[in-house]
A and B are shown apart, each in its own frame.
Chain A
Amino acid sequence: NAGVTQTPKFQVLKTGQSMTLQCAQDMNHNSMYWYRQDPGMGLRLIYYSASEGTTDKGEVPNGYNVSRLNKREFSLRLESAAPSQTSVYFCATVTTQGGDTQYFGPGTRLTVL
C-alpha cells in the first residue's frame, strides 16, 4: 500500500519547456488536489478533482492544466514553464466530503531556469 505517490521527485526545466507531473493513489479516495508550496506562502491550491471525470480551478490555476485520468491518477501539466512556477508541488487526496483528512504525496521539487 503505497498511499499517494508522485513522479518525478525533482525536475529542472528551461523557460518555455513543458512537462507533466504525475500523481497516483491506491487509497480508493474520490477527491484529488494539486498544491504548490512557496517559502512564506503556505500551501496554495492549483486545481482539484472532486471525483473521477470532474476538475475545478483552485486559488492559483493560471499556467497549469490538469487531467483526472481515472480514479487513481491526477496529472498536472505545465505547457510553457516560467521561472515563477519554480516551487514544490504536492498532490493530496481526500476520501469523503466535508473536510476530512488530506493525505499528501512526497512532493515534486521543480526549478524553472
Chain B
Amino acid sequence: GENVEQHPSTLSVQEGDSAVIKCTYSDSASNYFPWYKQELGKRPQLIIDIRSNVGEKKDQRIAVTLNKTAKHFSLHITETQPEDSAVYFCASPGSGYSTLTFGKGTMLLVSP
C-alpha cells in the first residue's frame, strides 16, 4: 500500500516567517494530494489540494507544490500568523475506494 512520510514532526516559527512542510509518497500512480489542518481539539479540515496534472496551486497565503518525478509535495505558508498554529497532515490516495493514507502530521507553532 501507499506509504506517506511527513517532515518535520514539529516546526516553530516567528510570526511573519514562512513555513514549509514536506511529504514523500511511494506509489507513482498517486494523483491527488490534499493537506488538512487540525486545530487543537477540533476535527481535520481540508485547506488545499493538488492533482497530478499541475505543479503548483496557491490560495492566498498557502501554496502546495508537487514534484512527481521525485514523488514529493510540499505545503508552503507565507506571512505566518498565530492562528496558523495547528497540526497539518498531508495525504495521498490509499489502496481502497476513495481512501487516503495520511502522514503522521506536523505541529506548527507560530510565536507572536
Contact = CB atoms under 8 A, between A and B. Distances in A.
Interface of A: 31, 33, 40-45, 48, 50, 56, 58-59, 90, 94, 96-102, 104-107
Nearest to A51: B97
7 contacts: A42-B103, A90-B43, A97-B97, A97-B98, A99-B93, A100-B98, A101-B49
A107 B98 CA distance: 20
A33 B43 CA distance: 14
Nearest to A95: B98
Interface string B36-54: 1000001111100100000
B44 A98 contact: no
Contacts of B49: 101
Contacts of B99: 33, 45, 48, 58
Pairs A-B, 7 closest by C-beta atoms: A99-B32, A50-B97, A104-B43, A42-B104, A43-B102, A42-B102, A94-B98
